[in-house]
Each structure stands twice: as structure tokens, then as C-alpha cells.
Structure 1
Amino acid sequence: MLVDFNNINIPEYMDSEFFEAAFRSGFNDKIVKLKNVFFTMGPKLGENYVSHIYRANATYNDGGSDNKIISLIIKTVPSGPVGGHIAEMGVFTRERDVYVHALPEIERLLDGEAIVPKFLYYTPAPVETFVFVDVTPLGYILADRVKGLDEEHCGLVFEKLAKLHAASIALTKKQPQILRMLSEDLFAKNDGNQDMMQATLLNNFEHLAKVVETWPGFKETPEKIRRFMSTIPQNMAKWCGPSDKEIKVLAHNDLWVNNILFKYKDGKPVDLYFIDFQGSVYSSPGVDFTHFLYTSPQFDVLDQKRDLLIEGYYYKTFKSTLENLGYSPIPTLENILEEIEKRETVGFFWSAMKLFLISMDPSDCGENSLENLNDKDKGDRIRSIGMSSKRFVSTMQYVLTRMEKIGVLN
């Protein structure tokens, strides 16, 4: 078979043997003859921070009279210092465990309803690499991260999230070992591999404090932000990691607009897939709620529709899914609201970590990388652009006001 790199800078190991192994894995050793693979895209700078994404089309024959074409997504650990940190953190191995062990069982409990695009293959060498079916040709695309998600998009997210969470609770009762293997939060571990992430987070908070100094009505807030910053290193694992006394689900743990692919009909979102389960953890549903709420909705949705999203979209579906699965006792709405409130700090972290990047126009994203964010001059330039957007300002003012109200900032 032929692998055509199409003049794109593609790693040499993505050769015929690599793709043949991927198809043997993805098609459960069914006899499939690969004809050729044609790369269509390499990594796009400024949009992915913990992986490199490649796209390719594969022509194959599964025994029929006609050849078939399937689009593929190939995801790898990035090169350089960031890739080293990512590999040491074990996030790709965590994602493998989620795709191989947890998600197939969850989708089975949901009568085959797909939560994610089809997973084909994982290899740990020469670098950790995944192969997935690219669902873009099927009509699944990213929404506008800069604009943010309206109520229809957010409602669909919370309905699908409710099914994921509910089925994972039911799975724990049947096969507890599957999700217990995901009990460590890789993003919140207190070890040397977190230095880059924490350094970026602290730099973001410091720049945020300087920006807030210019906002009318927030005179005392910058000092509160700096006091809060000083407590992050010793408390991050406690705030973000799993707790003994909580409702536990398979939390995506990186739930924001660019990790969701939407399908549309007549201009309206009708279905979605979640992607990128690198940080997934067996933890509180509040982890996903606050992460998503403080990074992804349009401001008016966050400001005016928060209760509707939780109660009308999420909890209604969560309860009915558990009822259909015959699970009891079903957590109450009050239980879920308590979980969300306990994890407000998680949403605060992620809004400071990425909202200014999400709000940036794509034309301003060329320099965006973890290395550049940790370079003083380049990092400050990126933060200044992102933190000046209207959406960032309105959403962050909402978040800061809420953090003060509930005592996270004092």
C-alpha cells in the first residue's frame, strides 16, 4: 500500500505498517486490505496545546466489490518540552484506558448511543499515538469558540453529559474496577510534572489581577486574586482532585467548546460527540459543570440560563437515564447542586487558564503555545490580547463576582 505524505511534515513512523496495525485493531482483525493513505492536514499552530493533530484519508476494501474511503484523525504527543511533560503526566495513557475500557461499556449501557467518534488504535511507541475515525465528513464540526455557545448548543451538551455521567454511575455498580482505575486526577497531582501548568496558571492570575485593576467596581478584587494565588500550589490537588465524600462519575475533566463536535440540521445543533478524554477522572460531576460553564457559553446564557441548563437540561436527562437503567438510589437535584458548588474553584482555575485564549480571534492565535505563555514578553502579549475581548471581560467579571460571593475569594 502507498502512504502519501502530500508534502506535509509527517512523522516517518506513520507508514504502511502503522496504518495496517490501526485497521487490524479498529476492525477487530476483520480482513481489510488497505489500498492507500493520503494525508490532508498536519498540525495547526495555536489551536491544540497538548497534542498534534493530523488528518488523512484511507482507501480500503473489506471484501466488497467497491473500495471504500474513510477519513482518519491521528493524534500524537507533541515534540519538545511540552511533549515530555505530557508523556510523563500519563494523559495519553489515561485516554487509552478511557477509550478501551470505560467508554465501550458506557455506550453499551446507553443501547449503543455514541458518546465519542469511533476509536481505532493506540500505540505507545515511538511516541504515544491515537487513530480515530474523522467524523467531519459525517457533518460533525467545531462550533464558534470565540462567539461561545448559545442555549441550544449548551442544552445539547448538558443532555449528552447527563447520559455519560448517569451511565458511568450505573457502570460503577456493575463493574466498579473500570472507573476506579481512573481515580487519580492527572491535572491535579502534586508532583514535578505539574510545574509548567502551575507556572502558566500563576502567570495568568497575575496578569488577570493587573487587568482587573483597570475595571470600575473591582477595586479590592486584585488583592484578593493575589492572596488566592499564594494558596494554589498547596491546595490545587485538594480543590480539583477526587474526594471521598462526593457523587462520582466519569468526568471528562476538560469540557470546553473545542472538545465537542456538533452536527447540524437546518442550522440547528441536533447531535454531538465529546472528544479528548486525556484528563478524564472518576470524580464529581461538578468538575465538568464549572469547567464548561466558565469557558464555553455565551455570556447571556451563563448569566440568564444557568439554572435552566442544570435543572431543565442536565438533571431531567440524568434522572431519566438512571431510571431507564434501573439504578437506585438516584441522586437528587439538591445533591447535584451541592457538587457544583463544591467545585466552583475548578471553574475559576480553568476560566483563568483558557478563557482568554478561547476568546481570541483565530488570526491572533499563531503564537499561542505553553512555551510562549511561559515566556514573559510573549506570554504577556498573548494575555493582553485575550483578556481585552468583550466576552472575556463580561464572563470574568461574572466569575469573580461569584467567587467573592461564595467565599473562594476573600
Structure 2
Amino acid sequence: MSTTVTSVSDYPEYLSEETFKRLLTQNFGAQAQLRDLQVIPQKSFGNYSSDIYRVKLIYDLHGLSSAENRRRETNEDQRVLQVLVKVLFENLSTISNENFMYEQVLPEINKILHICGLESVSPTVYYTLKTKNEIHFFEDLTPREYIVRPRTIGYNEDETRLLFKRLGEYHAASLIYTESHPEVRNKLRQFYAVSDPALELFIEDQMHGNIEHVVKIIETWSGFDAIIDKMRKNTGEVFRNKFLPLFDASQAGLSLILHGDMWIANILLSYNSNDGKTNDAVFLDYQTSFYGSPAFDIHNLFMTSVQLSVIVECYDVIIAHYYASFRSTLLAAKYPVENIPSFQCVLAELRRTDYFNYYLLTFPFAQTMLSDDMTKGMSFNDFQNKKRLELNRMDIYSNARVLDTYKYMLKSFDERGLLD
């Protein structure tokens, strides 16, 4: 077999020819024969949790008729399978919920969506491996013209509406699945609300460093003195005592299995070629999925990935749009009408978990706005490098979108009493 890979041995064992032969057999049967493969490592700006490879498999099927075999011999019957390989870093594999989600939860959620006449919310998984790493072989949606939007630009109103429609569909199917499989609640590791001092310390350190850097800029803004004092108080034990109780599912009026990391790098969008409008979205990266309030996914998507003008002008309308999608999906699935959570229940959850937005602003949102040049080759180890972190913060807080968002959101947080 010829190959365009310079040397297959240059790649890890999970990218060997034997791996892809097993993948083809598992999906197409023993008649599937690998003829060629191309492996291309992918640059992943802003992704610090995994290595990504794009693989093109060329294969054919034995056991065909004589005419079909003649066509195959002239390469007319060769088939192509585009695969995206995601290799979760070893130090994260032990805490990831992604394998469980893709093997047990998402197939059932997608079945519910299909019954409702809706599209899958996750890509097809062709193959999985669980060694010291967690490795997934997905359908590569690039040939179908799905793309990741630039994270430093964020979603416009049209994109945001489509995304919250899809999120409402996912949450509805998740609610149905969770209620029929209550045991799943204890099988998903809580990413935030756990007795994990190292994780808590990491989050607090990153937030504290970001806050101390940005307040030097905010000090030049008129009318922010009191807010600066409150920001500095909302760190350490004060932050922890306000933040961790948000994840107590017993306090939630509505709970289901969340995506857990809803932001722009984990979402693929496709567009209508005629008018340029969005027509579908697929969600990726479920390693931090957990059981909790849908408000966390809603807050995360808005705060990290939606343009400020859309938040300011369209927030209430889009929340209503999300709920309409959530309710209509439940109705399409024949969920008992009297049991459908009310719009007021969703609004109450958004209010109850509002402090989560302060965390999002001061850490995840800030980190997502790091420029592509700064994220090249970056890994989790760089979060321990004080010199590198300071350079990162200089880059983040030189961005006009970041500063405009801080200026608006901090005033809003203060008016809502979040920092008191």
C-alpha cells in the first residue's frame, strides 16, 4: 500500500495503518480494504487540552461483482473517508467525561432528536481508543463545509439565534434522556464542584492574576473605583464561597446533562450558500459535561462567544428563542405538557447562577481572546510560567473587544449586586 505519509512510524501507534484498518472493518465490515492514508497534524489555536490530526482514508470494498471489480481496479470505485482524530492529553484523560458521553449518552440524545425530525448535535464517532490517552476518531465535517468561527470576533445575531435554537434542542433531548436514565447523574464527574484543591487553586490563581492586571487599566476609567474594590474582594475564599454552591444540583429548579464547555472553539457552523445565513450547528468536546442547571451552558455561550452588541441588544429575545426551541422539542418528543419546565423556571435558574458570569468574564472569556500568535504551541504548562502569563495578559487586555466587554459587564454586574 502506498501512502502520502512520509513515514507512518513517525506517528504514534494510534495513527498506524492497523488502527485505520480496524476502524474501516468496524464501520463497513471485513470487505473494506485500506488502500491509502494521509495524516496531517492540525494547528489548534486556543486548544490546550488535545492534539488534533486530520486523516484522509482511501479504501474500497471487496466482494463486488465482476463489473464493479473492474471499475475498482481503475480506481473509479475508491471511496474516501475523512476522519478527525482528537487525542486528549494524558493528564486530562482521568477526569474526562467525553468517552462516556460519546459511547452512552450522545447516541441516545441524537436518537431523540431524530425522532423529533431534528439533526444530530454531535459528530459521528467512527472509533474510540482508551489507552493512557482518550482518543476519538470523528467524522471530519470540513468537507461538508462546517467551520469554526474566529473566537476573537464572536458570533453575530444570526449565528447566536441558530446556536441557542440548537442548544434548546440539545437540552430538551438531554432532559428526556436524564429522566429515563437517572443513574447517569452519578456517572459524570463534576468539573467545578468537587473537592479538588488543585483545581480550585488553579482557577483562583488565574482569576487573581487577571484581575490584578486589568484593574490597572480600569483605574483610568471614571466611576469604577468601587467596582475595583469589589473585584479584589471577590477572590480567594470569598469567591469560592459564592461560586461552588452554584453547582449544588439540589438547589436547581431544573437539571439535565450539560455540554459543559459551550464556547466558540467547540462549535461547528454551516452556512447557506445562497444567503450566507447559518443553517446548522454541531457541538464538539464533551469532556467537561456534567449534570446541572442548563443556565451554565447558556451563560458560558453568551459570555465567552457572543459579540457584545448582541448581548446588549438581543439577550432577552434570544433567551425567549432558546426556550421556544426547548419547549417545542419536548412537545415533538411527546413529553407530558404538564411537566414541561416553565419559562419562569429557566429565568430563575439564570438569576440563581448569575455569579458564574463573573468567573467567565475574568478567566474563560479573557483566555479565549488571546491572539492566535500567542496561542501557537501553548499548553497547560504555560499557565505555570509567570513571565508567559504576563505576556498573555498584556495581549488579552490590549484588545478593544475585551475592554469594552469589561466596561459594560462590570457595570451590569454591579447593578445586579453580583459583587456585593
Normalized against structure 2, the TM-score is what? 0.87
1:276 aligned partner: 285
| Residues in 1 aligned to 2:268 and 2:242: alpha-carbon distance in whole angstroms | 33
Change (3 A) 1:45 1:208: same
Change (3 A) 1:104 1:220: same
The counterpart of 1:383, out of the listed 389, 393, 401, is: 393
| Residues in 2 aligned to 1:28 and 1:187: alpha-carbon distance in whole angstroms | 40
| Residues in 2 aligned to 1:289 and 1:7: alpha-carbon distance in whole angstroms | 45
Structure 1: gaps spanning 5 or more residues: none
Pair 1:323 & 2:331 matched? yes
Change (3 A) 1:351 1:240: farther
1:189 aligned partner: 194
Between structure 1 and structure 2, the one with the greater Rg is: 2
| Residues in 2 aligned to 1:247 and 1:151: alpha-carbon distance in whole angstroms | 27
Pair 1:141 & 2:147 matched? yes
| Residues in 2 aligned to 1:188 and 1:301: alpha-carbon distance in whole angstroms | 30
User: Contact 1:255–1:292 (CA<8 Å) still a contact in 2?
Assistant: yes
Judge which range, 250-259 or 112-121, deviates more.
112-121
2:267 aligned partner: 260
Deviation at 1:324, TM superposition (A): 1.4
Deviation at 1:403, TM superposition (A): 2.2
- What is the root-mean-square deviation in Å for CA atoms of aligned residues? 2.4
Match for 1:32: what amino acid? A
Pair 1:102 & 2:108 matched? no
| SS of the residue 2:81 aligns to | strand
1:53 aligned partner: 52
1:117-266 map, 5 Å:
117-182=123-188, 184-194=189-199, 195-230=201-236, 231-240=238-247, 242-265=249-272, 266=274
The counterpart of 2:87, out of the listed 49, 54, 76, is: 76
Change (3 A) 1:308 1:225: same
User: Contact 1:156–1:271 (CA<8 Å) still a contact in 2?
Assistant: yes
Deviation at 1:202, TM superposition (A): 3.3
2:35 aligned partner: 35
1:329-340 map, 5 Å:
329-340=339-350
User: Contact 2:123–2:282 (CA<8 Å) still a contact in 1?
Assistant: yes
Structure 2: gaps spanning 5 or more residues: 69-76
User: Contact 1:45–1:368 (CA<8 Å) still a contact in 2?
Assistant: no
Deviation at 1:363, TM superposition (A): 3.2
2:73 aligned partner: none
Match for 1:337: what amino acid? L
> Deviation per CA, 1:31-78, whole angstroms, max 9, x where unpaired?
422222211234x26421111111111112245641211111111123
1:114 aligned partner: 120
Judge which range, 296-305 or 111-120, deviates more.
111-120
| Residues in 2 aligned to 1:28 and 1:48: alpha-carbon distance in whole angstroms | 32
| Residues in 2 aligned to 1:21 and 1:213: alpha-carbon distance in whole angstroms | 60
| Residues in 2 aligned to 1:200 and 1:19: alpha-carbon distance in whole angstroms | 40
Aligned length in residues? 398
| Residues in 2 aligned to 1:150 and 1:164: alpha-carbon distance in whole angstroms | 21
| Residues in 2 aligned to 1:146 and 1:384: alpha-carbon distance in whole angstroms | 15
Normalized against structure 1, the TM-score is what? 0.89
1:20 aligned partner: 21
| Residues in 2 aligned to 1:23 and 1:340: alpha-carbon distance in whole angstroms | 45
User: Contact 1:166–1:318 (CA<8 Å) still a contact in 2?
Assistant: yes
| Residues in 2 aligned to 1:361 and 1:238: alpha-carbon distance in whole angstroms | 33
